[in-house]
Structure 1
Amino acid sequence: TRQYICPEQGAKPIRKRDENSLEVFPLYKDGKLYGAIQNGVHRFYLRETGKEDVLTGTARFSHVWLLQGDQWKLSVVLSYDH
């Protein structure tokens, strides 16, 4: 992880969401909102200081968010179709 995600120098991987791909579906139980499913596409890049980001891959994602009190908590994260 240290070598690829947190390098001290060189290229660092980043992820950007395709804003046009985002879908959100509310989840209700007995008419009360309790969560949401978020689907979309994200793209992976390598970022290096002084250079343009280089696209290295694309994937789909799904997140399940749960409403706990007045705060949203990320419950499930899926990344697939790499």
Structure 2
Amino acid sequence: MRRILLLLMLSALSATTARAQSTPRKAGPASPPPAAAPKPTTKDELYQTVARLDTEMFAAFNAHDVNKLMAYFADNVEFYHDKGGLSNFAQTKEGFARLFAQSPDITRTLVAGTLEVYPVKNYGAMHIATQRFCHLENGRQDCGNSKFVMVWQQQAGTWRITRVVSYDH
């Protein structure tokens, strides 16, 4: 069962090439950007901001809304997956769309007590935690945990993910 979950995640996040290439976003229905927020002034405010972004972003994941989910990623995102390799923006978007089509009941939750947030001077924040993905397989709930690091960049009050490292699958 865990193997199926891993295969689903690999399918969603695997790169089709060994190197990510910058791909501009194509015109289409505009998805709302992540909410602008004032620049946090303390570590606690930064933690709350990133915790809110995690909740919002994965609400889009759990709703299987690819466009809304991808609004949290920068055009130049690099997504490193320990099993799937390196993906750019377009490959990451394709992977999520494929995952949602192959596993329409997949959900993600943040494992309680694992969220860590660290400021990155003159850039944004690092977001480190353990997440749990679940889906039904043969009528039974199948779940697996993995760890991740996301680097968020704040520009003009907008937060976007520029790097993801997803590992321990």
Structure 1 length normalisation: TM-score? Answer: 0.71
Pick aligned residue for 2:141 from 45, 54, 61: 54
* Structure 1 residue 64 displacement after superposition: 0.3
Higher RCO (CA 8 Å, separation ≥ 6 residues): 2
Give ranges in structure 1 of 5+ residues lacking alignment.
none
CA distance in 2 between counterparts of 1:71 and 1:3 reads: 28
SS in 2 for 1:5: helix
CA contact 1:36–1:66 (8 Å) conserved in 2: yes
The answer on 1:26 being equivalent to 2:119 is yes
Structure 2 length normalisation: TM-score? Answer: 0.37
The answer on 1:35 being equivalent to 2:121 is no
CA contact 2:136–2:142 (8 Å) conserved in 1: no
Letter in 2 for 1:64: V
CA shift in 2, pair 1:66/1:11, >3 Å? closer
* Structure 1 residue 3 displacement after superposition: 6.7
The equivalent residue for 1:70 is: 157
CA distance in 2 between counterparts of 1:73 and 1:3 reads: 22
CA distance in 1 between counterparts of 2:112 and 2:156 reads: 28
Q: Deviations over 1:26-53 (max 9, x none)?
A: 0114xxxx210000000110159xx8x8
* Structure 1 residue 13 displacement after superposition: 1.5
SS in 2 for 1:20: coil
Percent identity over the alignment is 30
Greater helix fraction, Structure 1 or Structure 2: 2
Q: Structure 1 segments of 4 or more deviating over 4 A?
A: 1-4
CA shift in 2, pair 1:4/1:71, >3 Å? closer
Give ranges in structure 2 of 5+ residues lacking alignment.
1-11, 13-96
Say how many residue pairs are matched: 73
The equivalent residue for 1:6 is: 101
Query: Computing the radius of gyration over CA atoms, which structure comes out larger, 1 or 2?
Result: 1
CA distance in 2 between counterparts of 1:45 and 1:58 reads: 9
CA RMSD in angstroms, aligned pairs only:
2.6
